[in-house]
Amino acid sequence: MSKGKKRPYAPFGVYYKYLVSLLWHKWYVFLAGRQVGVPLWRLIVHDWQKFTPLEFGKYARNYHGDYTNSPNDRDAVSLDYAYAWLHHENTAPHHWGYWIPRSGKYAGQPLAMPETYVREMIADWHGAGRAYQKSWNISKWISDNGAQMEPFMHEKTIDLVHHIMITELGYFLTDNCSWVMTNGKGGIL
């Protein structure tokens, strides 16, 4: 939102609900991360940015606000959230977008993600699936979203994601490029 404009009103419960959902997400990322081999410190600081004033309120209003009677507020909240997401992606190395330079010789070309952050990204996907969809199985989500992500990921990053998902977590790719689990839980817990 531009400076001086009033933010859409959101009752306290919106922030409480978001805090609870964020803490559950962090807990599930922690559990998944221990299974996938993410270093303990990375799991402790995972998504710390979401607790900052730049992100917390914007995420809360976006995910838990009720704007059914106010489409203008919904638009303002959506724009606020876009800024919060951009901040998050630019400060959280477990997101593939962090690894796309915005300027210089390699602008717009994805860089290979270090293995630690690839593992944290996979733990994040599983933690989000468990927190928000109530399932460790992310095969549908990754089938739906993988094709949109892969053009923006370095080839080595894609290979590492496939290696971890297939050899360590028990997923496999079908002929039509859909991800499927082999053990009913995706190898997490």
- Give the tens place of pLDDT for each residue, 137-181: 888 788 778 778 888 999 999 999 999 998 898 887 765 555 555
Confidence of residue 102 (pLDDT cuts 50, 70, 90): very high
pLDDT value at residue 185:
47
Domain that holds residue 2: 1-189
Euclidean distance between CA atoms 58 and 64, whole angstroms? 10
Helices marked H in 37-99: 40-45, 56-64, 71-91
- Structurally, how many domains does the chain consist of? 1
Euclidean distance between CA atoms 169 and 161, whole angstroms? 11
Tokens of 12: 């306290």
100: helix, coil or strand? coil
Tokens of 116: 């630690």
Give mean pLDDT, residues 119-143: 88
Can you give the length of the chain in residues? 189
* 60, 14 Cβ separation under 8 angstroms: yes
Q: What is the greatest pairwise CA distance in the chain?
A: 53
